[in-house]
Structure 1
Amino acid sequence: MSIDFTPDNIYDLAPSDLVQPSKVAGRMYIDPDIFEREIKDIFERTWVWVAHESEIPAAGNFKSTHVGRQPVIVVRDRRGAINTLLNRCRHRGASVCEQRTGKANGFTCPYHAWSYSLDGKLRGIPYPEGYEGVMTKDGMGLRKLRTEAYCGMVFATFDDDAEPLEDFLGDAKPWMDRFFKQGGGYPLKVLGTHRFKFHGNWKIQLENTTDGYHFPIVHRSWMASVDSETADMMSFMNDPAATTHDLGNGHSVAQMVPEHSDLDADDGSEPLQERFNDLVAELKSQGLSEAQVRRLVRAMHGTGFNLNLFPNVSMSISFLRVLRPISVDETYIEHVALGPDGPPEIVDPVNRERMRVHEHFQGPFGFGTPDDAEGWDRVQRGAIGGPDLPIMVNRGIGRETRAEQGWPTSHVTDETGMRSAYTKWKEMMSDV
């Protein structure tokens, strides 16, 4: 039974009632109590993306990040295992690492010099005499989160009873496999990260990744700035093959360029773009075959789809977009550029060109991200008016069908992906 939102009932409804089949309440963007529930019931209960394995390639390599609002360190230990450790000394609570990335033999609190090994165990306490008969080092290591990985993507959770990561990812896994084919036969690595904040609720960005409806409107300046081949490739509004699938568990995928969904499926008929002619010549000069060159260059724009993984990371065509909730109306975003990891004489020119493509859309002076961020800001400013007024997520609901895999599916401009995310949100925010 659908519930109507009214000024009289909107603050009496339970959070899970704020999600209805075709709409969600504007209150979800502006209520700080709901935000606190989200941190507890979503970000501290499910699998949250924390790193790509290429960021921590060897023992001692680490990355500082967050799970929800809690600071963590993702580090590879001497046995090769990846640990996610709460960045909080067990003595008096000070952070033990303030560097964003680096390499270390362990972590030492700057306040009283308690020291910890790469797997989080407490290994040293200065002047231990005061603890004789009071406390031992056993059980006083850095708190360790459960950590698992798939396709080089590292996730962590505070919930020791959470389902296995691969079960949580479910039908998103084949799409992750396809995404990582864009290395052109080489593994992918992180090339760099662009970070910024916007003044809006985290769910506004979550909605954006599989929202094909906004693309030709918000990104018309980008479409006007690229060559005609790229513009034609991204003109998917009337392409019936361009679809969005609800993959379950809040995950969804939007196929903007279906012919690039699986980069191994190449019949050779698609010409390489002329803008990459110099790169083609450079790669051929290194002795690569026509097939090898084609594989690398054809993947220059990425995979042709946006894969949204609930709740905090998307594998967006050629890069990762990571969100971190700060407050009810502020969200931190990371855009992570990716490229092949191989012989420098081959991958360096490829990655140089991939970075230029990345900067043109995602960069702070690009034609894409600033326009997106302005839209997100405006949604937050508007949502303050009328918290009972619904946010509509009903586009395409009347033409949604089932793919052969059983996925709810509609056109890429429809809001199937948003409905998927909010179904999971409703489940996790339920009082039952």
Structure 2
Amino acid sequence: MIDLDELVNNDGSEQSREIFWNQDLYQLEIERVFGRCWLFLTHESLVPNYGDFVTSRMAEDEIIVCRQKDDSIRAFINSCTHRGNQVCHAESGNARAFICNYHGWAFGTDGALVDIPLEQRCHAQVNKEDCGLPQVRVESYRGFLYGCFDADAPSLEEYLGEFGWLLDTWMIGAGNGAELLGPPSKSILDCNWKVPAENFVGDAYHVGWTHAAALEVMGGELAGLAGNRADMPFDDMGKQFTTRHGHGFGVINNAATSIQVDRADYDKFIAEQLPKVAENLGEARANLFNGHWNSTLFPNNSFLYGTNTFKVWHPRGPHQIEVWTWTLVHKDMDLDLRKKIQKGAAFSFGTAGTLEADDGENMMTCTYSNRGSVTRRGTIRSTMGLNHEGPHPDYPGIVGASFIGETSYRGFYRFYKEMLKAENWYAIRDKDDSWDSTFENRDFWKNHPTAS
């Protein structure tokens, strides 16, 4: 029996070590987190024409995402309604139908069952209207497509909430937006899905230590972080953000292109876009546009803006994930710059990337060190920056004073616990007006005006 109150202690900013190992907890996560949240599928630009499709995942469910004749996009479960076989084995392509290779049942691009071989001869007695592929809610935010299994869940825009305002910094930027370069690279990592999700949501603390050697070799603005030097001006270098539904990020100021090796053209692009972003979205978001972001959209969609890697951590049980990685680019970038960005992203956070390898080892050991029954009786902590955060005059949500802190961790696990305890979305909505009450220092930014 799992005690959810013991699992996450919001007041003490502690979590039980069971969160990375417990099989029963994982099944509850599949039901109450992945079964109710909006999960990333693909980008509209990767299915531009009628019949274009990609196969995706929502936790452990296989999904087909397909462009329709009317230019809309639908998503449905990739499993034949006859005997359960996969109806599409390709990762992407163009199709006029999806035909099961077991018995030949054929489904249209809208998921409807359109043909059954030998239907009349063998007296199939099947009502085709009742046997289409189960549909999944699919909605787009600035071209980024997400799916949801729960009919009672809020719209995608409502689910993003104030985080959408922050995402618009680069999703809209100077006006033409962003897209993904695919197909995604894929790899298997033996860790719990929450370890990379929490790492991306706000862990700048590890950067100077885990990646010390790489930073020294790569140079640039972040090289000074190597070794976690105590003389770094941490309170002036960035902030952390957390929002209603657990989405969050940390930003390092004026460091958007800092990890790119071949960066001259990217620096020029950012400099040209900044005044347009300021005019379009205001100075507050223009300041973020030139920052390096590490971010997670709850529960398992993460990205680094600046390094421009975009990831989903698909769970495969409590101790393993499948990592899907795209490259994030602005639509206004020319082809040469896109190629440089993609090459740089592969070098740093691709499947065999320099920084990806650093992180992978830690993510696996954070999981497997907790397999011991005695070890799992302990707790893990996310107290950095506690009470050095609060409502900000320029930004929504709760904002932490330093880019090295754990404000976003606390926000991630606050909502994680809420999702696990809530019986449905109506219970979650009941807390909309009080969600940030666990962040008690309401006047932090009023009392530290120079820090803003």
Match of 1:9 in 2: none
Q: CA deviation at 1:32?
A: 0.5
Q: CA deviation at 1:403?
A: 1.5
| Aligned partner of residue 88 in structure 1, secondary structure | coil
| Aligned partner of residue 429 in structure 1, secondary structure | helix
1:90-239 equivalence runs, <5 A: 90-129=81-120, 134-181=125-172, 185=176, 187-209=178-200, 210-229=202-221, 231=223, 238-239=234-235
Query: What CA distance in whole angstroms lies between the structure 1 residues aligned with 2:399 and 2:41?
Result: 29
Question: Is 1:387 the counterpart of 2:376 in the alignment?
Answer: yes
- More displaced, 56-65 or 391-400? 391-400
Structure 1 unaligned regions, length at least 5: 1-11, 264-270
Contact 1:146 1:157 in 2 (8 A): yes
Query: What CA distance in whole angstroms lies between the structure 2 residues aligned with 1:274 and 1:406?
Result: 33
- More displaced, 130-139 or 231-240? 231-240
CA deviations 1:312-358 (Å, max 9, x no partner) are: 2123212211111101110111121123446xxx7221112112221
Match of 2:446 in 1: none
CA deviations 1:357-411 (Å, max 9, x no partner) are: 2122112443210000111011112222411210111111132232135522222
* Pair 360,389 (structure 1): closer, same or farther in 2 beyond 3 Å: same
Query: What CA distance in whole angstroms lies between the structure 1 residues aligned with 2:290 and 2:49?
Result: 27
Sequence identity percentage: 24
Contact 1:65 1:72 in 2 (8 A): yes
TM-score by length of 2: 0.80
Query: What CA distance in whole angstroms lies between the structure 2 residues aligned with 1:399 and 1:294?
Result: 31
Question: Is 1:15 the counterpart of 2:4 in the alignment?
Answer: yes
| Aligned partner of residue 170 in structure 2, secondary structure | helix
Query: What CA distance in whole angstroms lies between the structure 1 residues aligned with 2:388 and 2:241?
Result: 13
Match of 1:351 in 2: 338
TM-score by length of 1: 0.84
Considering Cα pairs closer than 8 Å and 6+ residues apart, tell me whether 1 or 2 has the greater RCO.
1
Match of 2:318 in 1: 328
* Pair 135,367 (structure 1): closer, same or farther in 2 beyond 3 Å: closer
Match of 1:306 in 2: 294
Paired residue type of 1:64 = T
Q: CA deviation at 1:303?
A: 5.2
Equivalent residue in structure 2 for 1:367, among 349, 354, 359: 354
* Pair 123,105 (structure 1): closer, same or farther in 2 beyond 3 Å: same
Query: What CA distance in whole angstroms lies between the structure 2 residues aligned with 1:302 and 1:360?
Result: 21
Q: CA deviation at 1:58?
A: 1.1
Aligned length: 399
Query: What CA distance in whole angstroms lies between the structure 2 residues aligned with 1:295 and 1:353?
Result: 23
Q: CA deviation at 1:129?
A: 1.2
Contact 1:15 1:34 in 2 (8 A): no
Contact 1:247 1:253 in 2 (8 A): no
Query: What CA distance in whole angstroms lies between the structure 2 residues aligned with 1:237 and 1:369?
Result: 26
Q: CA deviation at 1:132?
A: 5.1
* Pair 100,241 (structure 1): closer, same or farther in 2 beyond 3 Å: same
* Pair 324,138 (structure 1): closer, same or farther in 2 beyond 3 Å: same
Query: What CA distance in whole angstroms lies between the structure 2 residues aligned with 1:97 and 1:366?
Result: 30
Match of 2:429 in 1: none
Question: Is 1:424 the counterpart of 2:415 in the alignment?
Answer: yes
| Aligned partner of residue 221 in structure 1, secondary structure | helix
Match of 1:49 in 2: 40
Question: Is 1:246 the counterpart of 2:238 in the alignment?
Answer: no
Query: What CA distance in whole angstroms lies between the structure 2 residues aligned with 1:332 and 1:183?
Result: 34
CA deviations 1:140-174 (Å, max 9, x no partner) are: 11100111110111111111111111111001112
Contact 2:211 2:355 in 1 (8 A): yes
CA deviations 1:235-276 (Å, max 9, x no partner) are: 97624351111111011121122x468x9xxxxxxx9x9954
Paired residue type of 1:396 = G
* Pair 291,44 (structure 1): closer, same or farther in 2 beyond 3 Å: closer
| Aligned partner of residue 213 in structure 1, secondary structure | coil
Structure 2 unaligned regions, length at least 5: 278-285, 424-452
Paired residue type of 1:415 = E
Query: What CA distance in whole angstroms lies between the structure 1 residues aligned with 2:360 and 2:317?
Result: 17
Equivalent residue in structure 2 for 1:78, among 52, 63, 69: 69
| Aligned partner of residue 205 in structure 2, secondary structure | helix
Match of 2:327 in 1: 337
